[in-house]
Chain A
Amino acid sequence: MRQIIEVKNLRKEFPAKGKDAIAVDGISFGIERGSITGLLGPNGAGKTTTIQMMLDIITPTSGEIRIFGKNMRKNREEILGKVNFSSPYVSMPYNLTVWENLATFARLYGVSDLRGKISGLARQFEIEDLLPKKTSALSTGQMTRLSMVKSLLNDPKLLLLDEPTSSLDPDIADKTRKLLKKIQKERGITILYTSHNMAEIEELCDRIIFLQKGRIVDDGTPKQIIEKYGRKDLNEVFLHIARS
């Protein structure tokens, strides 16, 4: 099983007054084990919807999602135990300390060495000194790092990240990228993530899937895609596709 994710004819229409809104319009792709894939596309392209369908937070209208070779909806519990997710648009209980929050999630995932796991990851993401603090006291960037630590608690084999670096300062964003790359190399985690930062995508991704209006308009390595459109960098390719 080399394909960690297999998506077939995935489609999502949100019920709406009048005509239903098509967020994802019949996409198919596979993702290889140990790869970092960037899902990119303009606002409203369907990136978040796609990721949430993989987490069983949004139910697809039709199509199939297989993760680790198994049907997502029929094996939800087993699959979610080995997957994790992070995004700045989710938060954690403000009135708990950072440690208490992490301990809660570690318990939800049934992590055995709770203390060791939390302190190890906290060190890597430089939030060790924040552990006793109230979560409400965290800055946006610190919150993002906390959320990243949370997403690694269960040693996921697949990590889904929705704009993980969008609120980080350039220094922390750079560190986070390096850390992601390192963790991915060491543990062979498969990462699927979205970002609007084209330089970051070029730096990190083995492959990009370009979504527009719910459809895949391009798919390949950053280099291939830049060459195909004959542009200087991914940013220009993005502008070209988004405006055409």
Chain B
Amino acid sequence: MKFHRINALLIRHLYLYRRSLPRVMDIFYWPVMELLVWGFLSVWLQNTDFVGEFNMVSVLLGALIFWNFLTQSQKSVSVAFLEDVWERNLLNVFVTPLKPSEFLTSTAILGAVRILLVAIVMGALAALLYSFDVFQFGILIIPFVINLLIFGWTIGVLIIGILLRYGTQAQILAFGLIVLFQPLSAVFYPVSALPSFLQSIALALPSAHVFEGMRAVLQGDFPFTTLGYAFLTNAIYLVFALWFFYMMFSRAKKRGLLLKLE
């Protein structure tokens, strides 16, 4: 063993870390987000008297399945675009008469199909392994699921806009941005378990309203106002994301970036 050779490799890693966002995120971002989610959940479980009111299997597993709806919907949009970029196929696609709106619609449908498959697979496994009752939510849950689909799609479209602006150096967002929403969306615990300044951010997110609604449905309520807030906030973000996407698409065409994205 020669130390100078080991050292050479270590220094090479250092060069890479300095420049590579994914590597830095491995150290700071993912672990911190996980810590926040599990931290808020643990503290809530410790302090709450409500636990008895909930069937914990339903709350946690249901939340986990729902959370996957959101990420699936977002990824189907962002990754569909990224794949065309990675494969240098974007130009071929956009010299056909295809409109950007048609491109986005196809990804939305793909997202919906993926959600359905995720629901079936996770629901069946959870039922089999943990006696999770898939049908306990009833059809009342469907409008909430639709909100998750829309919000995931909205974030996905927003990310495409950012990719058009900053190129593939921002591609980590396609996988990482959604994680930022996890602690804030009160997935596994109520919004009230968050510190108050985070509560106001949470209430601005459709996803937080969906998860609040999901817990209410489990308790036998049908929270119309929560659903209303989910649709309302979703509508605002959706319009913004589409506007941003079209701005960035047109900017990319002005700068000749559709050719250069790689």
Contact = CB atoms under 8 A, between A and B. Distances in A.
Contacts of A220: none
Interface string B223-243: 000000000000000000000
A109 B97 contact: yes
A90 B89 contact: yes
Contact of B91 (A57, A78, A108): A57
A89 B258 CA distance: 12
B94 A108 contact: no
Given A52-B259, A76-B97, A92 B254 contact: no
Contacts of A58: 253-254, 256, 258-259
A80 B253 CA distance: 16
B95 A84 contact: yes
Interface string A72-102: 0000111011011101011111100000000
A108 B96 contact: yes
B93 A108 contact: yes
B92 A90 contact: yes
A57 B87 contact: no
A36 B168 CA distance: 37
B83 interface: yes
Nearest to B87: A93
Contacts, number: 66
B253 A59 contact: yes
Interface residues of B, number: 22
B83 A93 contact: yes
A58 B253 CA distance: 5
Contacts of B89: 90-93
B87 A80 contact: no
B23 interface: no
A77 B100 CA distance: 11
B98 interface: yes
Interface in B90-136: 90-99
Contacts of A170: none
Contact of A57 (B94, B97, B250): B94
A207 interface: no
Instruction: Output the residue of B93, B94, B95 with the most chain A CB within 10 A.
Output: B95
Nearest to A54: B95
A159 B95 CA distance: 12
Interface string A140-152: 0000000000100
Interface string A15-39: 1000000000000000000000000
A104 B74 CA distance: 23
A91 B95 contact: no
B256 A81 contact: no
A63 to B, nearest CB: 14
Instruction: Output the residue of B90, B256, B259 with the most chain A CB within 10 A.
Output: B256
B97 A77 contact: yes
B96 A14 contact: no
Contacts of B98: 108
A217 B250 CA distance: 31
B255 interface: yes
A56 interface: yes
A190 interface: no
Nearest to A15: B255
A105 interface: yes
Nearest to A109: B96
A137 to B, nearest CB: 14
Nearest to B91: A90
Contacts of A83: 95
A55 interface: yes
Interface of B: 83-84, 87-99, 250, 253-256, 258-259
Given A55-B95, A58-B254, A92-B87, 12 more contacts: A14-B256, A56-B253, A57-B94, A59-B253, A77-B97, A83-B95, A85-B91, A91-B88, A94-B87, A105-B96, A108-B98, A150-B92
Which 7 pairs show the lowest CB-CB distances between chains A and B? A91-B88, A108-B96, A77-B97, A90-B91, A59-B253, A80-B97, A58-B256
